Amino acid sequence: MPHTDTFYTAHTADGELSIRRGPRNKAAVNAAGALIWRRHHDKLEVLIIHRPRYDDWSWPKGKQDPGETLPETAVREVREEVGLQVTLGAPLAVTAYKVKGKPKEVYYWAAELPAGARAQADEGEVDELRWVSPKQARAMLTSPTDQEPLDALLRLESAQDLKTRPVIVMRHAKAKPRSKWAGAEGERPLAATGKRQALAVGRLLQAWSPERVVSSPWVRCMQTVYPYAKASGLTIKEKRGLTEDSNRRSPKHARKVAESLFEKRDRSVVLCTHRPVLPTVLEVLGGHLGKSLRKHLPAADPYLKPGEMWVMQVSVTHPMTVVSLEQIKPFDD
């Protein structure tokens, strides 16, 4: 996939979802939400809501706020409408329709009900919520377009790939130019713009709440993941094999670190490294992605823009199966 000026791409292994969105092809109105699911007496159930303003049954969702990424919108809207702090799973579908003559798109993700959490309807927008079977949901949903994310969720359920964990790879935020830095290369810090980008990265990562943070020990990488690690109470695992120098001398160390992302089968993770190291990491990722997803990996420099990331959802039941690949820019240029 050539690197283009996009803010979001999403592809699923079954080929049912394959989109690329940027300034030139985004809808006039954008929204995001989630299909929240749980196992109840070993049966799959999904959460649907009734909105009195529209007198409809639908999924929790809402409009994107200025400065928000779509994953952040989905998490915020779920929190506001049903009182749940979810982490996003696989992207499901992007529905499209018109509102007052304007094109609108709604982006949906799967999201498992957090352990021990209980949904509560927002008094302002939601007057009832129900946990129902997928069959019941299909009969109750008001809008025909809301069937699309349900179909996608059921395909994952049928393949036993609905429960996933995120594996995230990112490039550090914008650093001070080499030409303006006289110190050691490993100590070259983020530029002022990069520091703002790092804050945006920290907010976006909350959508998946990775439990491990792995990074090159060079300052610009550490500064990029620090806001998220601090907010989440996590220790950054420094891996010297992810530095530019180490990768130049012997790429095998970076490969080993990248492989480890797929070995910790019960934990979600984010890795931060440098642009020159990304081709080495990409070789490893390509070995774990099926053919349908592998073709969407970038093939040319710069692979990722500063602060940009790939989010892969890995099946928990089939830990060698990556069910989706997203590429996300956490901020506007």
Q: What is the pLDDT of residues 253-300, one digit of tens each?
A: 999 999 999 987 778 999 999 999 999 999 999 999 999 999 999 989
Q: Which residues pair with 58 in a beta bridge?
A: 49
Q: What is the pLDDT of residue 65?
A: 96
User: Could you tell me if residue 67 is left (phi over 0), alpha (psi between -120 and 50 degrees) or otherwise beta?
Assistant: left
Q: Who contacts 96 (Cβ-Cβ below 8 Å, separation ≥6)?
A: 27, 103, 104, 105, 106, 145
Residues 80 and 57 in one domain: yes
Q: What is the pLDDT of residue 267?
A: 87
CB-based contact 19:10 (threshold 8 Å)? yes
Domain residue limits at 193: 164-328
Q: Mean pLDDT in the chain?
A: 95
Handedness of CA 239, 245, 247, 250 (dihedral sign): negative
> If you average pLDDT over residues 30-35, what whole number do you get?
98
b/e 129-138 (16+ beta carbons within 10 angstroms → b): bbbbebeebe
Percent of the chain exceeding pLDDT 70 equals 98
Quote the pLDDT of residue 259: 96
pLDDT band for position 2 (cuts 50, 70, 90): very low
Average pLDDT, stretch 217-239? 98
Q: 3-state class of 2 per DSSP? A: coil
Q: Are residues 252 and 132 in the same domain?
A: no
Residues 109 and 183 both lie in one domain? no
pLDDT (0 to 100) of residue 265: 74
pLDDT 10s digits, 170-196:
999 999 999 999 999 999 999 999 999
pLDDT score, position 4:
55
**Does position 80 have pLDDT exceeding 80, yes or no?**
yes
CA distance 211 to 267: 6
**In terms of domains, do 147 and 184 share one?**
no
Residues 149 and 217 in one domain: no
Specify if 10 maps to a domain.
Answer: no
Give the residue from 158, 184, 205 where a domain finishes: 158
Cβ pair 13, 314 in contact under 8 A = no
DSSP secondary structure letters along 45-102: EEEEEEETTTTEEE-SEEEPPTT--HHHHHHHHHHHHH-------SEEEEEEEEETTE
Contact between 156 and 90 under an 8 Å Cβ cutoff? The reply is yes
pTM over 0.75: yes
CATH code of the domain in which 49 resides: 3.90.79.10
Residues 258 and 298 in one domain: yes
Is 271 found in the same domain as 211?
yes
The number of folded domains in the chain is: 2
What mean pLDDT comes out for the span 89-95?
A: 98
One domain, residues 132 and 27: yes
Last residue of a domain, one of 104, 129, 158: 158
Provide the strand spans (E) within 88-235.
Answer: 91-99, 102-112, 128-132, 164-171, 212-215
Domain presence at residue 4: no
Q: What are the CA-CA distances from residue 169 to residues 77, 145, 228, 306 (Å)?
A: 26, 32, 14, 12
* Residue keyed to tokens 């994310």: 149
Residues 207 and 131 grouped into a single domain:
no
User: Which of 34, 51, 160, 143 shows the shortest CA–CA distance to 97?
Assistant: 143
Instruction: Clarify whether residues 151 and 210 are in a common domain.
Output: no
Which pLDDT score, from 0 to 100, does residue 333 have? 61
pLDDT at 266 (0 to 100): 73
Least confident of 16-20, 106-110, 177-181: 177-181
Domain boundary among 122, 141, 158: 158
CATH number assigned to the domain comprising residue 191: 3.40.50.1240
For 16-20, 97-101, 225-229, which range has the lowest pLDDT when averaged over its residues? 97-101
Provide mean pLDDT across the span 131-143.
98
Check whether residue 92 and residue 113 sit in a common domain: yes
